[in-house]
């Protein structure tokens, strides 16, 4: 049988249709498509894909199970390493990880590992919605209580792993809903919130207690958690503090941080205004500053809210855009204008509302330490882009709310929590992982950290006995 060179395509909503709704864009494989794609895997013994995966999912093994139509087994295999496949299959930057090193990819397109993972994850969710949990408690109940701070992917993963081992786990979440960025950041059309809900329900079935509206550092301190009998604590509070450009005019009306814009739309459901009471106002022409996933999500969300012209302003060239490949492609198909090699220098407004972004053109210079070319501004090349609103998506740093109120917790100069190789912080019994130690990164890395921290916590608790 000759090998199929390209990935089996995944059906998607047509661009012209989808920009009018918030439904999921990518629709997933059918069982036949998944089995077909699974046959493209060479099952090579070296399995470089496994090392490419931050949590080392046994990729060839689960693909083999898919190929044999044994979807139940496929899910069991994935779940040995990854609790949230339906989410990771949708949001991981596979082209930078497993698919990047896939042997098939040397001459042809790599195996669509992400799409297969999503297929298996969705299959499992569908099964469990009418059946019992896919998670099984493997050991007897243990006495020790563990507190998890933050319900993003790092916290959820740590909680699930600890609960499976029988520990008494409580998650404390500052917001009124679980999921962290999965809930307030990544839009419905890319990650339906129903999936996040289902994953959280699964975790609750393991006996994990979730307490919303509790800010650790404000409502309760870390010290008080220990006093209340928690023996170990995991901090997964993410990188929630939005960066601004600090250029003139940035506080004009109509200028949002991506966090504010996406929180209004996703968490508060402003796209359903006036049924939901939180408003969002963007007008017809929108500029999004930045080139990562957050920028793509903001731009595509603006389009769906009725904007007619949405531009991405990015200071490097298209090759350097840090967003997932699929998001860039989808954004282009939807008509987002990429104004690369441009940088805003000021915002101008009338009657208090932004009307223009003043940009300067950029050129790529020498490569910097990270191997990316440094953008340099071209003198006297300023120009004006007329806008009704602007969304600033140039990154997030850790929120100091917890660290600033926890005296002896060591932090790095950039605000992240300092940890050792086992993710232990400077306070005995307190561990940290996810964006709070790396800065804004990825869902899978946060999950990987949650897993690792769970192992460290178990070790710590065993020793403390």
Ligand X SMILES: Cc1cc2nc3c(=O)[nH]c(=O)nc-3n(C[C@H](O)[C@H](O)[C@H](O)COP(=O)(O)OP(=O)(O)OC[C@H]3O[C@@H](n4cnc5c(N)ncnc54)[C@H](O)[C@@H]3O)c2cc1C
Given the rule CB under 8 A, which residues bind other proteins?
174-176, 212-215, 218-220, 240-242, 244, 246, 250-254, 256-257, 259-260, 263-264, 268-269, 273-279, 281, 352-353, 399-401
Interface residue with ligand X among 22, 62, 172, 230 (CB under 6 A) is 172
Which of other proteins, ligand X, none has residue 50 at its interface (CB below 5 to 8 Å by kind)? none
Residue number, 58 or 89, with CB nearest to ligand X: 89
Which of other proteins, ligand X, none has residue 400 at its interface (CB below 5 to 8 Å by kind)? other proteins
Q: Cβ 461 to other proteins, closest distance in Å?
A: 26
Q: Percentage helix, strand, coil, to 5, in the chain?
A: 35, 20, 45
The C-alpha angle with vertex 142 and arms to 137 and 148, in degrees rounded to 5, equals 80
Residues of span 224-243 touching ligand X by CB under 6 A? 236-238, 240
Q: Cβ 175 to ligand X, closest distance in Å?
A: 5
Q: Does 402 bind ligand X (CB under 6 A)?
A: yes
Torsion angle in degrees (nearest 10) through CA of 286, 288, 294, 297: 30
DSSP letter string over 342-411? Answer: EEEEEEEEETTEEEEEEEEEEEEEEE-TTSPEEEEEPTT--EEEE-SEEEE-S-EE--HHHHTT-TT--B
Q: Does 444 bind ligand X (CB under 6 A)?
A: yes
Q: Pick the stretch among 12-20, 159-167, 212-220, 456-464 that binds ligand X (CB under 6 A).
A: 212-220
Residue number, 293 or 355, with CB nearest to ligand X: 293
What is the Rg, in whole angstroms, of the alpha carbon atoms belonging to the chain? 23
Q: Cβ 163 to ligand X, closest distance in Å?
A: 17
Which of other proteins, ligand X, none has residue 176 at its interface (CB below 5 to 8 Å by kind)? other proteins
Q: Cβ 404 to other proteins, closest distance in Å?
A: 9
Q: Cβ 142 to ligand X, closest distance in Å?
A: 24
Q: How far apart are CA 258 and CA 399, in angstroms?
A: 15
Residue number, 8 or 263, with CB nearest to ligand X: 263
Q: Which residues pair with 430 in a beta bridge?
A: 233
Q: Does 92 bind ligand X (CB under 6 A)?
A: yes
Displacement of CA 28 from its chain's centroid (Å): 19
Q: Does 346 bind ligand X (CB under 6 A)?
A: no
Which of ligand X, other proteins, none has residue 276 at its interface (CB below 5 to 8 Å by kind)? other proteins
- The three-state secondary structure class of 337 is strand
Q: Does 249 bind ligand X (CB under 6 A)?
A: no
Displacement of CA 188 from its chain's centroid (Å): 13
Q: How far apart are CA 141 and CA 60, in angstroms?
A: 34
DSSP letter string over 60-124? Answer: HHHHHHHHTT-HHHHHHHHHTT-S-HHHHHHHS-GGGTGGGS-THHHHSPPP-HHHHHHHHHHHH
Is-contact 340 316, C-beta < 8 A?
Answer: yes
Q: Could you list the residues that contact ligand X (CB under 6 A)?
A: 91-92, 149-155, 172-175, 180-181, 185-186, 215-217, 236-238, 240, 262, 293-294, 297, 324, 399, 401-402, 434-436, 440-444, 446
């Amino acid at each position: 049988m000759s090998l199929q060179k390209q990935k089996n395509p995944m059906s998607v909503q047509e661009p012209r249709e989808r920009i009018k709704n918030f439904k999921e864009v990518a629709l997933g494989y059918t069982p036949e498509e998944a089995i077909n794609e699974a046959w493209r895997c060479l099952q090579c013994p070296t399995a470089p894909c496994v090392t490419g995966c931050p949590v080392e999912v046994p990729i060839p093994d689960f693909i083999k199970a898919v190929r044999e139509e044994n979807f139940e087994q496929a899910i069991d295999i994935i779940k040995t390493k990854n609790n949230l496949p339906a989410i990771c299959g949708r949001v991981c930057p596979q082209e930078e990880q497993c698919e990047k090193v896939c042997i098939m990819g040397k001459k042809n397109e790599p195996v669509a590992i992400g799409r297969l993972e999503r297929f298996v994850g969705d299959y499992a969710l569908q099964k469990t919605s009418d059946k019992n949990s896919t998670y099984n408690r493997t050991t007897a109940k243990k006495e020790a209580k563990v507190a998890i701070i933050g319900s993003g992917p790092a916290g959820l993963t740590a909680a699930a792993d600890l609960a499976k081992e029988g520990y008494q786990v409580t998650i404390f979440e500052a917001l009124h809903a679980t999921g962290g960025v999965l809930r307030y950041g990544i839009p419905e059309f890319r990650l339906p919130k129903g999936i996040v809900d289902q994953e959280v329900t699964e975790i609750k079935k393991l006996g994990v207690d979730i307490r919303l509206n509790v800010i650790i550092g404000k409502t309760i301190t870390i010290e008080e958690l220990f006093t209340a009998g928690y023996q170990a604590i995991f901090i997964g509070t993410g990188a929630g503090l939005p960066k601004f450009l600090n250029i003139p005019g940035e506080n004009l009306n109509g200028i949002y941080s991506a966090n504010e814009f996406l929180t209004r739309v996703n968490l508060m459901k402003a796209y359903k205004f006036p049924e939901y009471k939180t408003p969002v106002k963007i007008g017809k022409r929108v500029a999004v500053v930045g080139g990562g996933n957050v920028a793509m999500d903001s731009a595509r969300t603006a389009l769906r809210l009725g904007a007619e012209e949405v531009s991405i302003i990015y200071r490097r060239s298209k090759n350097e855009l840090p967003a997932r490949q699929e998001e860039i492609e989808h954004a282009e198909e939807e008509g987002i204008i990429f104004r690369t090699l441009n940088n805003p220098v000021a915002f101008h407004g009338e009657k208090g509302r932004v009307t223009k972004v003043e940009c300067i053109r950029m050129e790529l210079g020498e490569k910097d330490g990270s191997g990316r070319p440094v953008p340099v501004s071209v003198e006297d090349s300023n120009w004006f882009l007329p806008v009704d609103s602007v969304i600033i998506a140039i990154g997030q740093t850790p929120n100091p709310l917890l660290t600033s109120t926890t005296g002896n917790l060591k932090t790095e100069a950039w605000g992240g929590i300092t940890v050792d190789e086992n993710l232990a912080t400077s306070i005995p019994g307190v561990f940290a992982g996810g964006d709070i130690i790396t800065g804004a990164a990825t869902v899978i890395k946060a999950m990987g950290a949650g897993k690792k921290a769970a192992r460290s916590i178990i070790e710590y608790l065993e020793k403390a006995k």
